[in-house]
Amino acid sequence: MPQRQVIAMGGGGFSMEPDNPLLDAYVVAQARKKNPAVCFFPHATDDATRYALNFFKAFSRLDARPAFLSLFTPPTADLESYLLEQDVIYVGGGNTRNMLALWREWGLDKILQKAYAEGVVLAGISAGANCWFEECSTDSVPGKLSVLACLGILKGSFCPHYDGEAERRPTLHQFHLTGQMKAGYAADDGAAGHFIDDVFSGGVSSRPWAKVYGLRLEDGSVVEEVLPTRFLGV
């Protein structure tokens, strides 16, 4: 049975740290073969062309073969076969709610489940990290953070930008205290949780101080645990 992997970034990667390739290089290195095919999903933004161009610029400098999936001009009618030939699927940030609605319309929710089972590395930043969990904290609706149901490939919840946006931490704690959100994970900008065969295997970071956290409700209080996070630099 192939190893199943998800790499969920709270922030960072080529779109936030164009001069710091540590997280993106880490994602590429987890693929099942050298010079892997990496397919970018820019579906959470209305500026997909620019986002995809920046992806190509960044990943062309890595040991990878970049491509991207447009849902306006798909490369083929058989998206399942196309995506199962990829080694890594890398999902960009933006509006998680809109992205998931688009995926469900195209059947990508089911295809991504199959890709995960067959060993394609699933990775992404912000919305592209939220999507893999049962639920997430999202700013998809302007002016507030809310809880959103996601794909459920991984159990529990996720919150990105934990140190990068002032309202993320207090709002997440409130979601847990009020029972709106399942136990789960949060990640700072520049940090990523690496999950192997459905289990958290460790955190990695492109910034020395960035961390991954586990959160749960215990005896009526929120327990926030700093999880082991390895800085990828020197």
Contact 139, 145 (CB under 8 A): yes
Contact 160, 129 (CB under 8 A): yes
Residues with Cβ < 8 Å from 73, sequence gap 6 or more?
none
* pLDDT tens, residue order, the chain (234 aa): 899 999 999 999 999 999 999 999 999 999 999 999 999 999 999 999 999 999 999 999 999 999 999 999 999 999 999 999 999 999 999 999 999 999 999 999 999 999 999 999 999 999 999 999 999 999 999 989 999 999 999 999 999 999 999 999 999 999 999 999 999 999 999 999 999 999 999 999 999 999 999 999 999 999 999 999 999 998
Beta bridge partners of 226: 213
Residues designated catalytic: 126, 161
Q: How far apart are CA 141 and CA 147, in angstroms?
A: 10
pTM, entire model: 0.97
The DSSP-derived string for 141-210 is STT--EEEE---SEEEEEE--TTTSTTHHHHHHHHHHTT-S-SEEEE-TTEEEEEETTEEEEEEESSTT-
Q: Which residues of 78-103 are buried (b: 16+ CB within 10 A; e: fewer)?
A: ebeebbeebbbbbbbbbbbbebbeeb
CA 88 and chain centroid, separation: 12
